[in-house]
Amino acid sequence: MTIEAQNCVVGIEYELKEAGKDTVLDTNKGQQPLEFVMGAGRIIPGLEKGLVGMEEGDSAKIEVPASEAYGEKDPESLRTLPKEQFEGIDLQVGMTLYGEGEGGHPIQVTVADFDENGVTVDFGHPMAGKDLVFDVTVTDVREATEEEMATGEVGGHCADGSCGCGH
């Protein structure tokens, strides 16, 4: 089955790098494939677009510009906070810090700069502004069930094997 822009479930193994760099930022190779419903907005648009037309067993390098990944860096996402809020932390530019945001939700920030008075943190996605390269292998392609199409979530297994799971 060929991957279409919508209404199919795709499984992939991937390795993610920033374009022009050798450091692996994320991978699931040798682990469970990443499964998602095409067109449901669960993965970045550029990766989804690059998978269209591929089939089970196909491999490719998919280059995704920042605009189709996590967006460009947003200067509005920078905030300078009093240095006292960071007591006991050996600050380094580029380090990731975790905290609690509004409503008690966990947040992740990156230290952009600091001096004796304040710490400038970036509340934007850590991969914003980066062009990405995915080395992907398609492990599975099947039609999405009605429930999967409605929810955008890969569902459980069916009892009769009609979902393609072989049970």
pLDDT, tens digit (0-9, with 9 covering 90-100), for 53-63: 999 999 999 99
Residue 3 lies in a domain: no
- C-alpha distances in angstroms, 137 versus 14, 61, 74, 112? 6, 9, 32, 35
SS3 state of residue 143: strand
Same domain for 63 and 100, yes or no, is no
* C-alpha to C-alpha distance for 129 and 127, rounded to whole angstroms: 6
Same domain for 40 and 113, yes or no, is no
Residue whose structure tokens are 């822009």: 5
Mean local confidence (pLDDT), 126-154: 94
Count the neighbouring beta carbons within 10 Å of the beta carbon of residue 157.
Answer: 11
Same domain for 51 and 89, yes or no, is no
Q: What is the CATH number of the domain that holds 13?
A: 3.10.50.40
Same domain for 19 and 51, yes or no, is yes
- C-alpha distances in angstroms, 6 versus 45, 105, 143, 151? 12, 31, 9, 13
Same domain for 35 and 116, yes or no, is no
Contact 9, 143 (CB under 8 A): yes
Q: Find the angle CA(149)-CA(32)-CA(19) to the nearest 5 degrees.
A: 90
| Per-residue model confidence (pLDDT) at position 144 | 93
User: What is the per-residue pLDDT across 73-112, written as a single tens digit (0 to 9) for each?
Assistant: 999 999 999 999 999 999 999 999 998 878 888 889 999 9
Residue 1 lies in a domain: no
Please give the mean pLDDT across all residues of the chain.
90
Same domain for 48 and 114, yes or no, is no
Residue 90 lies in a domain: yes
pTM (predicted TM-score): 0.77
Provide the residue range defining the domain that includes 58.
8-70+128-151
Residue 163 lies in a domain: no
pLDDT range class, residue 165, cuts 50, 70, 90: very low
- C-alpha distances in angstroms, 148 versus 8, 153, 159? 9, 5, 16
Region of poorest pLDDT, from 17-21, 27-31, 123-127, 136-140: 123-127
Same domain for 63 and 21, yes or no, is yes
